[in-house]
Amino acid sequence: DIAKAIIDLAVYGKSQNRSYDRLGLLVDTVGPRLSGSKNLENAIQIMYQNLQQNGLENVHLEPVKIPHWERGEESAMMLVPRVHKMAILGLGSSIGTPPEGIMAEALVVTSFDELRRKAPEARGKIVVYNQPYISYPVTVQYRVRGAVEAAKVGAVASLIRSVASFSIYSPHTGFQEYQDGVPKIPTACITVEDAEMIARMASRGNRIVIHLKMDAKNYPDTSSFNTVAEITGSKYPEQVVLVSGHLDSWDVGQGAMDDGGGAFISWEALSLIKDLGLRPKRTVRLVLWTAEEQGGIGASQYFQLHKVNSSNYSLVMESDSGTFLPTGIQFSGSEKARAIMKEVMSLLKPLNITQVFSGTEGTDINFWIQAGVPGASLCDDLSTYFAFHHSHGDTMTVMDPKKMNIAAAVWAVVSYVVADMEEMLPRT
Amino acid sequence: KAIFKDDISQETFQKIKEEIASYG
pLDDT at residue B1 in the model: 47
CA-nearest residue of chain A to B13?
Answer: A340
Question: Chain B within 8 Å of A73 (Cβ-Cβ)?
Answer: no
- Percent of chain A exceeding pLDDT 90 equals 99
In this structure, what are the phi and psi dihedrals at residue A336, rounded to the nearest 5 degrees?
A: -65, -40
Please determine, for residue B2, whether its predicted confidence score (pLDDT) is greater than 60: no
Q: What is the pLDDT of residues A281-310, one digit of tens each?
A: 999 999 999 999 999 999 999 999 999 999
CB A387 within 8 A of CB A160: no
Per-residue confidence band for B9, with pLDDT thresholds at 50, 70 and 90: confident
Nearest CA in chain A to B20: A344
Q: Is the separation of the CB atoms in A427 and A334 below 8 Å?
A: yes
Question: B23 to chain A: which residues are within 8 Å by CB?
Answer: 2-3, 347, 413, 416-417, 420
Across chain A, mean pLDDT equals 97
Residue A76, pLDDT score = 98
A374: nearest CA partner in chain B: B4
> Chain B: nearest CA to A275, how far in angstroms?
17
The pLDDT of residue A174 is above 50: yes
Picking from A79, A76, A98, A251, the residue whose alpha carbon sits closest to that of residue A158 is: A76
> How much is the average pLDDT of A147-174?
98
Look at A343 and B20 and tell me if their CB atoms are within 8 Å.
yes
**Rounded CA gap, A344 and A417, in Å?**
7
Closest Cα in chain B, distance from residue A233 (Å) = 14
- Say if the Cβ atoms of A426 and B6 lie within 8 Å: yes
A425 touches chain B (CB under 8 A): yes
Q: Is the pLDDT of residue A357 over 80?
A: yes
Q: What is the mean pLDDT of residues A142-166?
A: 98
Whether A242 and A299 have beta carbons less than 8 Å apart is answered as no
Nearest Cα of chain B lies from the Cα of A348 at a distance, in angstroms, of: 8
Q: Check A314 against B8: CB less than 8 A apart.
A: no
Is B18's Cβ below 8 Å from some Cβ in A? Answer: no
**B6, pLDDT greater than 80:** no
pLDDT in tens, A195-252: 999 999 999 999 999 999 999 999 999 999 999 999 999 999 999 999 999 999 999 9
Starting from the edge strand earliest in sequence, which strands make up the sheet with A74-80, in order? A84-86, A74-80, A209-214, A102-109, A126-129, A157-161, A187-190, A88-90
**A321-333 tens-digit pLDDT:** 999 999 999 999 9
Q: Do A250 and A174 form a contact (C-beta atoms < 8 A)?
A: yes
Q: Is the pLDDT score of A183 beyond 70?
A: yes
Instruction: State the nearest Cα–Cα gap between A411 and chain B, in angstroms.
Output: 15
User: If you average pLDDT over residues A50-64, what whole number do you get?
Assistant: 98
CB contact under 8 A, A312 and B3: yes
A344–B24 C-beta distance less than 8 A: no
pLDDT score recorded for residue B3? 62
pLDDT of residue A353: 98
A311 touches chain B (CB under 8 A): yes
Q: Which residues of A touch B18 (CB under 8 A)?
A: none
Mean pLDDT of the A351-366 span: 94
Q: Contact B3/A421, CB-based, under 8 Å? A: no
How does pLDDT run across A380-419, given as a tens digit for each residue? 999 999 999 999 999 999 999 999 999 999 999 999 999 9
Q: Pick B13 or A43 by higher pLDDT.
A: A43
**pLDDT value, residue A428:** 74
Which chain B residue has the Cα nearest residue A349?
B24
Q: Which residues of A touch B4 (CB under 8 A)?
A: 311, 314, 423-427
Give the residue numbers of A marked as catalytic: 292
pLDDT at B8: 77
Residue A51: pLDDT band (50, 70, 90) is very high
Backbone angles phi, psi at A282, to 5 degrees: -115, 170
Residue B17 C-alpha, separation from nearest chain A C-alpha, in angstroms: 6
